[in-house]
Amino acid sequence: MEILGYISAVFIGLSLGLTGSGGSILTVPILVYLIGLSPVMATSYSLFVVGATSSIGGIRFYRKGQVHLKSLFSFGVPSLLTIYLTRLFLVPALPNELLQVGAVVVTKSGAVMVLFAVLMVLAAYRMIHHQEIVCQEPAAEPQVPYARVITQAVLVGLISGLVGAGGGFLIIPALVLLLRLDMKTAVGTSLVLIAGNSLVGFLGDMVHYSINWTFLLTFSALSVGGIYLGSAFAHQVNSRALKKGFGWFVLAMGIFILAKEIFL
């Protein structure tokens, strides 16, 4: 199973290289069910892997001039602060047994996996029903609703901190609809935000956990290698059709995790 987990690390990067998004959503399930990490530790390692893989894409978009620096500051500061505080204080403070209803005990690990499965289902829906988000308002001197931007950024930081995922399906609509970015710039800016959020969140974990750097760096390197492999063949495939198919796979995985954690 561990060997299959390392192979799956390449698959994470491969899917990112081929479709441009979505692959990192599989990191936590792979770390939990194939590598055998606890869900909380898996979210920590996932932050590092997601941060490393998103950095590759973010650098590429930055070189093309498709990263909006002002949006990085307005959205990034509250999300970075939230994810860091979530990993540093909130996650460690949560008790192992959150609540008990009759004979049913809701554990921290179980709650993390259920929340992550819900996130997978939502992300899968976005991949299956792909529709480019278009801002209907004029882009010239728009009045930015900063209160909504900060609220969305805090939400992204909280969710990312709890489940160890990037939250791109929440970030991109906010960048397009609230900060009025075009789609390509929103994707590039989102990748940089995800990389920053993930790595800062991981820094919060380093205070509490002993990190197996040999494993983590090996797993991350395989994932990053998969990105370059996928990118080399991306022009030969129908990325939209592939992304839709991958969305169905993520949906099936999300439903499986929900069923396993709730009913089994």
> What is the predicted pLDDT for the residue at 141?
53
Kindly report the number of other CB atoms within 10 A of residue 263's CB atom: 6
With a CB cutoff of 8 Å and minimum separation 6, the contacts of 240 are 130
Specify the range with the lowest mean pLDDT, choosing from 35-49, 175-189, 227-241: 227-241
> What is the predicted pLDDT for the residue at 154?
94
User: Do 74 and 149 touch, CB atoms closer than 8 A?
Assistant: yes
Q: With bands split at pLDDT 50, 70 and 90, how would you rate the model's confidence at 133?
A: low
Q: CA-CA distance, 67 to 192, in Å (whole number)?
A: 8
Q: With bands split at pLDDT 50, 70 and 90, how would you rate the model's confidence at 213?
A: very high
Tokens of 24: 């990192």
State the pTM of this model.
Answer: 0.87
Specify the range with the lowest mean pLDDT, choosing from 22-36, 116-130, 136-150: 136-150
Is the pLDDT assigned to residue 16 strictly greater than 80? no
> What is the predicted pLDDT for the residue at 222?
93
Q: CA-CA distance, 6 to 216, in Å (whole number)?
A: 11
Is the pLDDT assigned to residue 234 strictly greater than 90? no
The mean predicted confidence, pLDDT, of the chain is: 85
Mean pLDDT of 175-198: 87
What are the DSSP calls for 50-117, one per residue?
A: HHHHHHHHHHHHHHTT---HHHHHHHHHHHHHHHHHIIIIIHHHS-SEEEEETTEEEEHHHHHHHHHH
| Phi, psi for residue 95 in degrees, rounded to 5 | -70, 155
